[in-house]
């Protein structure tokens, strides 16, 4: 653990405290999947017993369970060198599903990747698993990744990263002679709506919490609050002034790589130059090439709706405050948004009707809807969805965080009139694993 944290600190610029937290997240994630395997619902066991006397035709015995898809290629994220990388959520959920994993090491933390891979190899040796259950692949450029995804033995792909790289992998997988699923978590600007009651009640508290969420980890989170929507007025002005004050001269932070820092500068400059965009505040001028300068901008709702370029993820501590005329205008702006990982609403008691009306709009656009919180911080649990409509991910039907992620790497198989002795244990009459099963459509806890 200690060596891993030190190596990751050197390679990523993230703090030891943050990385120590990530170690706990990573091991907690593995323990969660161990519990999921023990609980047994993941088998998806279903039994429709034979009905030999059914008319006009007897019913055969049909049983269903899920089996692993096969070897999975995993591309880790730069911003979570432990929890979303070699031994991260994709690897954990694929291994839990029974799939061998081949990880393409992220170039931004090769040493951390090798240390994590050694830990996995040691665990494989300790438990007597076949060596092929896990491999780490190191290679520069996109070519290694493309060759991995197009290898006929690979049956699914987990990816976290940029939209450009994610789309390239999706395309490569679709063009294979036998196409395979790609679970790419790509980009999101995570709209936050400040409803009028909340804004009237606590504009400065909201601004402080927003600024804190925005600059956390130099803004390098896929759930970073990149858009804030609110109705114009005194509350809006108070929020904007306080948030600008918090960002103005903010020390910023070291970004993960100079490439990410360069891309952040390029993206923020591009967005800042769009029609109608005003800069409200900038962080302190950085003194190194890999530092990111925090940035708060503002734009009117109509300008935002007219310009799809303003929806681009800037991946860093930059956010766009969108001024709307009224709640209808807020809804129109939300309806113009691409798919998102998260959508957040801040409310006061007087906002509940407005919030109720917004919920269906937010559900259609995001994988997670939050009230009175900030989207950074993704709880690892059974109910979490870290996913959402395209282009937040390439496949909205699932999640890359939380126990539901195991389902990405399974497929159902039915067994018709297979003798009990040959059935896999989850489907045998005696239910030897004591797992929940669906018998004739009804759940049986086992």
Report in angstroms how near the CB of residue 248 gets to its own copies at its nearest: 29
Rounded distance between C-alpha atoms, residue 432 and residue 388, angstroms: 37
Footprint of its own copies on residues 331-370 (CB under 8 A)? 339, 352, 355-356, 359, 363-364, 366-370
Rounded distance between C-alpha atoms, residue 334 and residue 257, angstroms: 32
35 is catalytic: no
Per DSSP, the three-state class of 29 is helix
Tokens 């906002």, residue located: 351
Q: Which of 11, 22, 185, 313 is catalytic?
A: 185
Tokens 């450009």, residue located: 164
Q: Which helix (H) or strand (E) holds 298?
A: strand 295-300
* Size of interface with its own copies, in residues (CB under 8 A): 78
User: E strands within 3-86?
Assistant: 46-48, 62-68, 72-75
Q: For residues 65 and 323, which CB has a smaller minimum distance to its own copies in the complex?
A: 65
Q: How many CB atoms lie within 10 A of CB 108?
A: 20
Report in angstroms how near the CB of residue 180 gets to its own copies at its nearest: 8
Report in angstroms how near the CB of residue 64 gets to its own copies at its nearest: 4
Rounded distance between C-alpha atoms, residue 265 and residue 248, angstroms: 17
Among 174, 251, 284, 289, contact with its own copies (rule: CB under 8 A): 174
- Burial class, 243, CB count within 10 angstroms (exposed 0-12 / middle 13-18 / buried 19+): buried
Q: For residues 261 and 410, which CB has a smaller minimum distance to its own copies in the complex?
A: 410
222 is catalytic: yes
Among 72, 101, 169, 170, contact with its own copies (rule: CB under 8 A): 170
Q: For residues 288 and 416, which CB has a smaller minimum distance to its own copies in the complex?
A: 416
Report in angstroms how near the CB of residue 44 gets to its own copies at its nearest: 8
Footprint of its own copies on residues 82-111 (CB under 8 A)? none
Only segment of 28-36, 91-99, 239-247, 262-270 that touches its own copies (CB under 8 A): 28-36
Footprint of its own copies on residues 68-87 (CB under 8 A)? 69-70
Strand-pairing partners, residue 343, are 369
Q: For residues 181 and 286, which CB has a smaller minimum distance to its own copies in the complex?
A: 181
Query: In Å, how far are 272, 297, 306 from 320, measured between CA atoms?
Result: 10, 5, 15
Report in angstroms how near the CB of residue 199 gets to its own copies at its nearest: 18
Footprint of its own copies on residues 206-245 (CB under 8 A)? none
Binding of residue 125 to its own copies (CB under 8 A): no
Footprint of its own copies on residues 373-432 (CB under 8 A)? 373, 377, 379, 381-385, 387, 389-391, 394-399, 403-404, 410-419, 421-422
Report in angstroms how near the CB of residue 30 gets to its own copies at its nearest: 15
Structure tokens at 17: 């405290």
Dihedral in degrees, nearest 10, Cα atoms 382, 383, 388, 392: -60
Strand bridging mode 442-444 / 437-439: antiparallel
Among 34, 270, 306, 443, contact with its own copies (rule: CB under 8 A): 443
Among 47, 86, 92, 199, contact with its own copies (rule: CB under 8 A): 47
Rounded distance between C-alpha atoms, residue 433 and residue 351, angstroms: 49
Per DSSP, the three-state class of 266 is helix
Q: For residues 1 and 371, which CB has a smaller minimum distance to its own copies in the complex?
A: 371
Report in angstroms how near the CB of residue 287 gets to its own copies at its nearest: 32
Report in angstroms how near the CB of residue 4 gets to its own copies at its nearest: 19
Q: Which of 11, 22, 99, 222 is catalytic?
A: 222
Among 7, 46, 109, 293, contact with its own copies (rule: CB under 8 A): 46
Among 37, 67, 119, 124, contact with its own copies (rule: CB under 8 A): 67
Binding of residue 436 to its own copies (CB under 8 A): yes
Among 34, 35, 269, 434, contact with its own copies (rule: CB under 8 A): 35
Strand-pairing partners, residue 254, are 291
Strand bridging mode 295-300 / 278-282: antiparallel
Q: For residues 266 and 364, which CB has a smaller minimum distance to its own copies in the complex?
A: 364
Q: Are 361 and 329 in contact (CB under 8 A)?
A: no
Rounded distance between C-alpha atoms, residue 188 and residue 98, angstroms: 30
- Burial class, 127, CB count within 10 angstroms (exposed 0-12 / middle 13-18 / buried 19+): exposed
Per DSSP, the three-state class of 332 is helix
Rounded distance between C-alpha atoms, residue 301 and residue 330, angstroms: 8
Spatial strand order in the sheet of 156-160: 134-137, 101-104, 72-75, 156-160, 182-185
Report in angstroms how near the CB of residue 326 gets to its own copies at its nearest: 21
Binding of residue 441 to its own copies (CB under 8 A): yes
Q: Give the residue numbers annotated as catalytic, written as ranges.
A: 185, 222
């Amino acid at each position: 653990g200690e060596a891993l944290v030190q190596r990751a600190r050197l390679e990523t610029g993230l703090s030891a405290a943050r990385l120590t937290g990530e170690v706990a997240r990573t091991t907690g994630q593995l323990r969660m999947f161990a519990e999921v395997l023990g609980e047994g619902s993941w088998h998806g066991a279903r039994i429709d017993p034979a009905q030999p006397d059914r008319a006009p035709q007897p019913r055969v015995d049909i049983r269903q369970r899920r089996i692993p898809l096969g070897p999975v290629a995993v591309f880790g994220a730069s911003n979570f060198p432990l929890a979303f990388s070699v031994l991260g959520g994709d690897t954990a959920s694929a291994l839990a599903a029974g799939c061998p994993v081949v990880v393409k090491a992220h170039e931004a933390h090769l040493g951390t990747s090798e240390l994590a891979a050694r830990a996995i190899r040691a665990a494989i040796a300790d438990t007597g698993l076949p060596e092929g259950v896990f491999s780490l692949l190191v290679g520069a450029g996109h070519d290694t990744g493309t060759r991995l995804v197009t290898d006929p033995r690979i049956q699914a792909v987990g990816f976290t990263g940029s939209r450009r790289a994610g789309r390239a992998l999706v395309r490569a997988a679709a063009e294979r002679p036998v196409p395979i699923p790609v679970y790419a978590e790509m980009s999101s600007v995570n709209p936050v709506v400040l409803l009028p009651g909340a804004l009237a009640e606590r504009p400065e508290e909201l601004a402080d919490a927003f600024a804190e969420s925005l600059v956390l980890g130099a803004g390098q989170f896929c759930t970073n609050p990149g858009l804030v929507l609110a109705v114009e007025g005194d509350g809006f002005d108070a929020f904007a002034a306080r948030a600008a004050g918090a960002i103005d001269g903010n020390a910023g932070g070291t970004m993960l790589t100079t490439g990410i820092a360069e891309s952040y500068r390029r993206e923020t400059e591009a967005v800042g130059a769009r029609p109608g965009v005003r800069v409200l505040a900038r962080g302190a001028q950085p003194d190194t090439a890999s530092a990111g300068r925090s940035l708060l901008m503002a734009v009117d709702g109509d300008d935002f709706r007219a310009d799809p370029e303003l929806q681009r993820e800037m991946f860093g501590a930059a956010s766009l405050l969108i001024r709307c005329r009224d709640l209808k205008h807020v809804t129109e702006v939300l309806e113009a948004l691409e798919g998102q990982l998260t959508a957040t609403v801040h409310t006061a008691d007087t906002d509940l009707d407005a919030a109720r009306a917004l919920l269906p709009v937010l559900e259609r656009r995001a994988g997670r809807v939050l009230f009175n919180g900030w989207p950074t911080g993704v709880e690892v649990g059974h109910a979490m969805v870290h996913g959402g409509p395209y282009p937040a991910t390439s496949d909205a039907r699932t999640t890359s965080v939380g126990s539901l992620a195991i389902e990405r790497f399974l497929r159902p198989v039915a067994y018709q009139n297979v003798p009990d002795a040959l059935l896999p244990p989850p489907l045998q009459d005696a239910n030897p694993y004591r797992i929940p099963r669906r018998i004739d459509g009804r759940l049986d806890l086992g």
